[in-house]
Each structure stands twice: as structure tokens, then as C-alpha cells.
Amino acid sequence: MNDNNEKPLPGTLIDPNTCDHHHHTSHDNRHPLSYCVPTLVELHIHLDGSFRHSTLFELAEKKDIPLPSGIKRTMEDFIPYVCVQSDCKSLADFLGKFPFFISIVAGDVDALERVAYEFVEDQAIQGVLYTEARYSPHFLTADILTPEQVIEAINRGFERGKKEFHVDVRTLLCCIRPHPEWSMEIVELAHKYRSAGVVGIDLAAGDEHKHAITPHVAAFQRATELGIHRTVHAGESGLADSVRQAIEQCHAERIGHGYAIIDDPSVYELIHSRDIHLECCLTSSLQTNAVGKYVPKDCDIEEKHLMLNGQETNTKLHLHMTSKKEVWHPIHHFARDHLNFSLSCDDPSVSQITIEHEYKHALIDLKLSPAQLTQCVFNAARSSFLPEKEKDELVKRLLVNYIPKGVLKHY
């Protein structure tokens, strides 16, 4: 394979098929040959940012939910309301897509079970062996269901998917920055559903400048006392000090994004010395402008039009950014200094990407080496919130696809 665009995922022994069809195919129209060898671990992926466009469109039609614009509802009309385009300039723009499409699913136990099941299939399609899906149960109640009913509906979908597709899916329940009144309940729910796949909590969804971490500290201290694992979105739209606060006040074991740490050597060293895992998401870091200040002037931005049924639409996607400068994106620093980081999609349906896309972007555009990207996979595995015995088993399962069997037998 001479064309860089045809390279397999770094570290895989079998070249997987390109697997980006699943956001647009119907639930019942599966392609059995599109499943990839399970070689990846994904830690930072929002369930509500992963709903299939086709499912959302179908449910909106059934429920007669109008588009915000009131214009005719075709799939092409629908897509711009659930998918960010090339004109997205901030985290606020990015998050602005969520209220509309969450309303299509929220409060509907059948829909929640379905999207959870489809999530597992989509992870299997992309060759994901283990994943931690995160969501806020409160955002999905629609004042019709209780948070418990939301969790139980989603768990039913996950369990069906796990049995059918053999992907190990665990759950992180999200506290929400603008809603500290929910945080203590999230901790208690995480404790209640520990035996049902909930492995930790997150603090997500909000401008770090506008919504301080302080109102959530007591909940995270309670989680620490209960032995519940903790990750925090920090250093994405905020400063490096936001990361320090997450670690020192909320006892964060992992950081969602964390790009701003390259601006403060003391926080950078804190992350490095404590081996705190950074959950990096390349495409969303560009779309939300989280890394905008680091982008060199010579950067080329690739845009392409979204294709539907083989036809080009008016929806422009912002997918790649390349530069002649060798070190500019924060992950260049993380890789150079051997920080503990991995790659994830964040919100794949909103960004219109797959995990394969993220690895190819890192390999081809950002010039990370196959060895560095293989390290990302194993970083994610060892930084997962699984119990230690299960974590060791996950690493061994990954090794089957990364190390020749003749060598592996000595492990």
C-alpha cells in the first residue's frame, strides 16, 4: 500500500475496512463484512454524541418533531442540526447542537435502549475492544423518566449489544458544570449501579471560565471516599489551572482533553509526574477551537462536503489540519515527552468521524509514528477504570492482535 490514505490502523495486523457508514445506515441494514479486528480502546466518548443520524431522523419523523427552522425535513435538511460544520468556532457552538437532537431521544425508554444497543454495534464495527461510554442521565429524562429509569434503559441496550457484538462497554455518569445540584445524586447513582457496569463519574459540558469547579468538589470528595473513579473535562476551553484544580480539588485520575497544560510547566509536570491520563480528541479539539491558539499560520484546513446516498450535500465538514511545523498540536508535546495519553472521538456523530479517522489524522496529518499510536491504545487500556484483574485481561486480549503468537506465548 503506497498511498498513506490506505494505511491500516497503526499496530493492527489486519487492514480494517473503512467503517464510516454506520451513522447513516438504518438499524436493520447491517453490513456483516464491515466489522473490524478488535484492536482499540476508547475512553472519551459521549453516548449522546454518538447517536446515529439515521436513527435520530427516523425517530423525529415518527414523533413529528419539527426542525428548529421549520423548513421541510429531509435528511439533508436534518444533518446541519445534528452535525457541526466547518464554521464551528467554539465549544459553545459545538454544544449548541445537543439540545435539539437530545430532545428526540430523551424520556423514551425504547429509544434510549435502542441508541445504546446501536452504540455497541458501532464500536464493534470500528474494531473497539473496550470502551467507556459517558452520559448525563439527567439530560435524558425529559422530566418524564427518573435518572434511574434512564440508566436502566441504557444498560439494557448495552447488555444486548455486548452479548451480540462482544464489545466490553462500561459507563461513566456525568456531572454537568452548570448543574451542581445534580452532582451528589450522580455519585450515589454511580455507587448504586457499580455492579451494572458503571465504573466512574465525569465532570462535563460547560465553559470552564463561566462554571467553576468549586460547587462540584464535595461530590467528587464523596466519590473518592466511595472508591468511585473520577475524570474531569479540564484544560479544553479553560486554562491550565483548571486542570490543576481538577486534580487537587476533585482528585481526578484522568483529564478529558487537557490541552492547556502546555501553557504552564508546573501543571505539565504535575500531569507527567503523577502519570495522569489525558483523554485527547483531535477533531473536536479543532472544531471547538480548543487548540486554536497553537495552530501555525501555515496550516492547511481540509474541508469536504458531507455525502448522503452517494450525493454531495451543502453541509461542509472540517476534518483535517496539516502544517509543515513538526511540533504545534499539544499531542506533539505529549508524545515527545511520553505523557500518558490516548485518542478518542468525543462526539463522533456531531463531528461526523470514526475512531479510525482520528488515528489516521494523527498518523498522516500530525505525523505521529505507528509506535506512538500503538502506545496510545495500551495507555488507554492501563488507564481504564476497570478493576485491576480485568484491566490485565484487557491488555492480554489486546496483545493477541499486536504481538505475533510465537512471542505472545512467552507473556
Convert 309-337 into a string of H (helix), E (strand) and C (coil). CCEEEEEEEEEEEECCCCCCCHHHHHHHC
Q: Taking the model in full, what pTM does it have?
A: 0.88
Say how far residue 123 (Cα) sits from the centre of its chain. Answer: 11
> 42 catalytic, yes or no?
no
Q: Sketch the domain layout of the chain as residue ranges.
A: 4-408
User: Using one digit for the tens of pLDDT, what is the confidence trace for 138-169?
Assistant: 999 999 999 999 999 999 999 999 999 999 99
The percentage of the chain sitting over the pLDDT mark of 70, rounded to a whole number, equals 83
Say if strands 128-135 and 300-308 run parallel, antiparallel, or are unpaired. Answer: unpaired
Which is catalytic among the residues 121, 132, 236, 253? 236
Neighbours of 340 (CB within 10 A): 19
Question: Tens-digit pLDDT profile for the chain (411 aa)?
Answer: 334 443 333 332 223 333 343 344 433 333 333 455 678 999 999 999 999 999 999 999 999 988 887 766 788 888 888 988 777 888 888 888 899 999 999 999 999 999 999 999 999 999 999 999 999 999 999 999 999 999 999 999 999 999 999 999 999 999 999 999 999 999 999 999 999 999 999 999 778 888 999 999 999 999 999 999 999 999 998 999 999 999 999 999 999 999 999 999 999 999 999 999 999 999 999 889 899 888 877 777 666 666 666 666 666 665 566 777 778 899 999 999 999 999 999 999 999 899 998 999 899 889 999 999 999 999 999 999 999 999 999 999 999 888 765 554 555
At the top level of CATH, the class of 4-408 is alpha beta
Spell 20-34 as b/e; 16+ CB within 10 A means b: bebbbbeeeeeeeeb
Strand order in the sheet with 341-343: 40-46, 128-135, 168-176, 198-204, 229-234, 254-257, 277-280, 341-343
Neighbours of 364 (CB within 10 A): 14
pLDDT averaged over every residue in the chain = 86
* 225 HSE (CA, 13 A, CB side): 9
Strand ranges in 85-185 using DSSP code E only, listed in sequence order: 128-135, 168-176
How many angstroms separate the Cα of 183 from the Cα of each of 127, 129, 201, 215?
Answer: 33, 30, 9, 9
Spell 167-178 as b/e; 16+ CB within 10 A means b: bbbbbbbbbbbe
Q: How far apart are CA 337 and CA 274, in angstroms?
A: 14
Q: How far apart are CA 239 and CA 259, in angstroms?
A: 9
Q: For the packed helices 53-63 and 109-125, what is the interaxial angle rounded to 10 degrees? A: 160
3-state DSSP helix/strand/coil % of the chain, to nearest 5: 45, 15, 35
